[in-house]
Structure 1
Amino acid sequence: MSIEWQGVYPAVTTQFNQDGTINYESTQTMLDNLIQEGVHGIIVNGTVGENCSLRPEEKRNVMKAAKEVVDSRVPLLSGVAETTTQFAIEYSQDAEKIGIDGLMTLPGMVYRSTEREAINHYQQIARNTSLPIMVYNNPVTYGVDLTIEGMKVLVAENNIVAVKEATEDTRRITELFNAFDDRFIVFGGVDDIALESLMLGATGWISGLTNVFPRESVAIYELAQAGRYEEAREIWRWFLPLLRLDTIPTLVQCIKYAEQLAGRGSEAVRAPRMVLPDAEKRYVESLYEQALATRIDLSKYA
């Protein structure tokens, strides 16, 4: 399966009204703005999209709303985060019917799988949909590491085409290329090591803070792809304090509050998440204000 996934793919938030219902109009506006600002793809219903806080029909409706507004301008992927393999298969099949371009699959939720179980989970999803699949390897959050040996098993599944690598160990990127050459598309999945990941050969970056500063994220990617690393580092050093918010337990609340500060969305989240307490809001706000005060003129990199 030949798939051209590359570039900056924000894992987008799901926007809520104050009563907890989904604000589909606001969510669509946010997606349209991101595409107009140059992102190369969109991922809905990921961790940042609060997938596990959505009802089954809401997840499908988010995909439909995204499909409508994205309108084939960029690849549109959906996270697959279900409690059982069968539920994940059914979700993936519904995504295919809706017209989603691909899936970012997570291991089974709630139960912490062994690697053997996670491999079977991915195999069963792949064998029950024709959509291209990116496996999301995040042992820090989900407790199971899909090792190089595990990926050797998944080579046999032709529609498993990509890896979102989020072990926080950049050596794994080189190990993937050494083991598989270009068999898998490799995306960096941790915001605060994204530039290092791109320099090591990752062809894409799945990001949370891109929701707040999309143009800067795209500029980092494009400069890195062009080998203009000194210029990429200048933007990277400016961005890094905010990017560190992606690696803490309250990353969703931090990203959504930063979106609100930027006039790009609402901080509203669904329980058990709660909006940040005042002290943490002040910290996020200080990082955001510092970023605005020192924002780099991107035109000089044109």
Structure 2
Amino acid sequence: MWKGVLPAVTTKFDEDGSLDHDEMLRCFRIQMDAGVDGLIACGSLGEGPMLSHEERIDVLKLCKEAAGAKPALLTVAEASTRDACALAQKAARAGADGLMVVPSTIYHTDPRETVATLRAIAQAGDLPIMIYSNRLAYRVDVTVEIMEELADDPRFVAVKESSDDIRRSTDIINRFGDRFDLLTGVDNLAFEALMVGAQGWVAGVGLAFPEETVAIWRLVQARRYDEALRIYRWFRPLLDLDVSTYLVQNIKLAEAIAIGSNERVRAPRLPLAGARRDAVERTIRAAIANRPTLPALA
């Protein structure tokens, strides 16, 4: 159902802290013009937990407007199952094409609770679901065994695999074949995941460099692996910016430099400063100075 490059978009703010609808629509259209295969709103990178439900639905609607016939998903990442179910219902009414679901963001559910939470959200929204498995950021590991328990519900269609263990991708394919669409959620493991069979990439740094992200995906699909690897090796220092406590600030700074956006974040986050900012900016500008010429793509 969901394959290719689906960036997890950032949320843009005005100077007064309200949503900047015009800037989001501009940035989302840059992604679509580069050839991405859909958009995911209000994930970790989109500062979803910092937004009200109403704001998240507004961002989703902008994604839908930009994406056109391609899918626009909303991330559900709530502390309580009740709030997650309420958001899933709101997303369905707003026309979401699916949900990307984190089991819980505060209480670290055990396997039985994880299954119950995911089933409840699926029932509430009645939409296709991408399970977001990220044991490092959210302390809940959606294991292969948990996926097996959920496999009887056809609403669970995909997995965003972010365990930081590339072996997990092969484990999922070996256990389930094509039952779930497998997408990588770790930017600096993307090439490796695609090479072992991932069918898509939930991209982060690609927001600032969408053409390169799409090129890697399409070259891998065309089995032009050497060309894809050349771009990926150039990309790696940038992709490392996604694997950080400061991924939101890092990537928003990259967007500001590369596509002329802004780096406003919602408190308690603050834009990067000092030595950390200098280091990130050097990485971004060095990559831009050595940006590769992309090969022709079908």
From 105, 115, 122, the equivalent of 2:111 is: 115
SS of alignment partner, residue 299 of structure 1: coil
Structure 1's unaligned 5+ residue stretches are: none
1:202 is matched with 198
Q: Is the 8 A contact 2:25 2:62 kept in 1?
A: yes
| Matched length | 298
Which residue type is aligned with residue 139 of structure 1?
Answer: R
From 89, 96, 101, the equivalent of 1:93 is: 89
2:162 is matched with 166
Q: Is the 8 A contact 1:30 1:264 kept in 2?
A: no
Q: Is the 8 A contact 2:170 2:196 kept in 1?
A: yes
1:28 is matched with 25
Cα distance change on mapping 1:264 and 1:186 into 2, 3 Å? farther
Residues 1:155 and 2:143 aligned together? no
Q: Is the 8 A contact 2:64 2:71 kept in 1?
A: no
In 2, Cα distance between the equivalents of 1:161 and 1:204?
13
Q: Is the 8 A contact 1:13 1:48 kept in 2?
A: yes
In 2, Cα distance between the equivalents of 1:48 and 1:264?
18
Q: By how many angstroms is 1:90 displaced?
A: 1.2
Residues 1:237 and 2:221 aligned together? no
From 23, 34, 54, the equivalent of 2:51 is: 54
Q: CA RMSD in A?
A: 1.2
Q: Structure 2 matches for 1:33-48, cutoff 5 A?
A: 33-48=30-45
Identity of aligned residues (%): 43
Q: By how many angstroms is 1:107 displaced?
A: 1.4
1:186 is matched with 182
Q: By how many angstroms is 1:67 displaced?
A: 2.1
In 1, Cα distance between the equivalents of 2:153 and 2:231?
38
1:221 is matched with 217
TM-score by length of 1: 0.96
Q: By how many angstroms is 1:188 displaced?
A: 0.5
Which residue type is aligned with residue 22 of structure 2?
Answer: E
In 1, Cα distance between the equivalents of 2:30 and 2:259?
12
Structure 2's unaligned 5+ residue stretches are: none
2:68 is matched with 71
Q: Is the 8 A contact 2:91 2:125 kept in 1?
A: no
Residues 1:247 and 2:247 aligned together? no
Q: By how many angstroms is 1:127 displaced?
A: 1.8
Residues 1:124 and 2:120 aligned together? yes
In 2, Cα distance between the equivalents of 1:75 and 1:68?
10
Q: Is the 8 A contact 1:187 1:206 kept in 2?
A: yes
Which residue type is aligned with residue 70 of structure 1?
Answer: A
Cα distance change on mapping 1:88 and 1:49 into 2, 3 Å? same
Structure 1 runs of 4+ aligned residues shifted over 3 Å read 299-302
